[in-house]
Structure 1
Amino acid sequence: PVGRDPSSAPVTTTVINIQTETPVRDHIVWSLFNTIFLNWCCLGFMAFAYSVKSRDRKMVGDVIGAQTYASTAKCLNICALVLVGIAVLIMLRVQVWGALGDSVG
């Protein structure tokens, strides 16, 4: 009513809890690429298997398990990439030395 203090009015608050889902990258595309093209010592296939396990854990809701499998898949993918890179560099080096040896001799 008139003359009532506005600070004495009841205060209503609404609280909205928004759960932020931690995105877990399962690296499945990178693992599939490594399986098809860079499958050094089956590291690409093992990375693909861990990526699938990570995706399964994510679907179940086990974020910690999904992150663990995804981390393992990432490490295996990096190892496969590095080993194939080293092998390619060694093969190029041997080819260059072979070509230089043929032209010099």
Structure 2
Amino acid sequence: MTSPNYSDPSQATTYAAPEQAQSDQKPHMQPQVQVQYVLPPNMQQGGPVLFGQQSGGQIFVQPIGYVDPSSAQICDWLPWSITNIFVGWCLLGLLPLIFSLICRSRKTSNDASGARTMSTLALIFNILVTLAGLAAWIVLIIVLVTINKATSNVTCYPYC
């Protein structure tokens, strides 16, 4: 048996089962046609494959989940965006999360330029939301401490 050649779609490797090896099997299990592995013309070299439809003795090999290495290196900032939902008070944190999810979907569809654009937007909005969220948390803590001091002075005034 020869292995299929995945690098050149014009050369399909044919496999025919030897007659002697299948003489002891049942007649309905013997192959009636030669199996030929054929790659579609748009198949990119090196991607994972899935054996798909069988038609007339040919098995068409379909690529699944092939991710271009250049788009796989693009950072989508998703963990930071999820953290910013809590830091940015949910409303501000949704914007970088949306850009991160769009970036991730464009990476899987091998749109490298669109993924880079969404990655840059997610990075910028993550920085802005983190700074604004931290400032808002600091202001909230200062306000709560100030209110606590103001109310504690009023309640214990005669006794202090």
TM-score under structure 2 length normalisation: 0.45
CA distance, structure 2, for counterparts of residue 49 and residue 42 of structure 1 = 12
- The amino acid across from 1:73 in the alignment is A
For residues 1-105 of structure 1, what are the structure 2 equivalents within 5 Å? 21=70, 23-35=73-85, 37-40=86-89, 42-101=91-150, 102-103=152-153
Query: Once the 2 structures are TM-superposed, how far is the Cα of residue 41 of structure 1 from its aligned partner?
Result: 6.4
Larger radius of gyration: 2
| Residue segments in structure 2 that go unaligned for 5+ positions in a row | 1-67
What letter corresponds to residue 47 of structure 1 in structure 2?
P
Q: 1:14 maps to what in 2?
A: none
Q: Give me the whole-angstrom Cα distance separating, in 2, the residues matched to 1:20 and 1:39.
A: 33
Q: CA deviation at 1:67?
A: 0.9
Is the CA contact (8 Å cut-off) linking 2:107 and 2:115 kept in structure 1? yes
Give RMSD over aligned pairs. 2.6
Q: What stretches of structure 1 of length at least 5 have no aligned partner?
A: 1-18
How many percent of aligned residue pairs carry the same amino acid? Answer: 27
> Offset of 1:33 from its aligned partner?
2.1
Q: TM-score, normalised by structure 1?
A: 0.64
1:51-95 superposed Cα distances (whole Å, 9 cap, x missing partner)? 111011111211111011011111222222111111121122223
In structure 2, relative to structure 1, the CA distance for the partners of 1:92 and 1:39 (3 Å cut) is closer
Higher RCO (CA 8 Å, separation ≥ 6 residues) = 1
* Higher share in helix: 1
| 2:132 partner amino acid | L
Contact 2:88–2:132 (Cα < 8 Å) also in 1: no
- Spell out, residue by residue over 1:15-59, the C-alpha distance to the aligned partner (whole angstroms, 9 max, x if none): xxxx96251000111112222x13436221121111111011111
Distance 1:24 1:50 in 2: 13
Local SS of the residue matching 1:21: helix
* Distance in 2, Cα, partners of 1:69 & 1:20: 18
Structure showing the higher strand proportion among its residues:
2
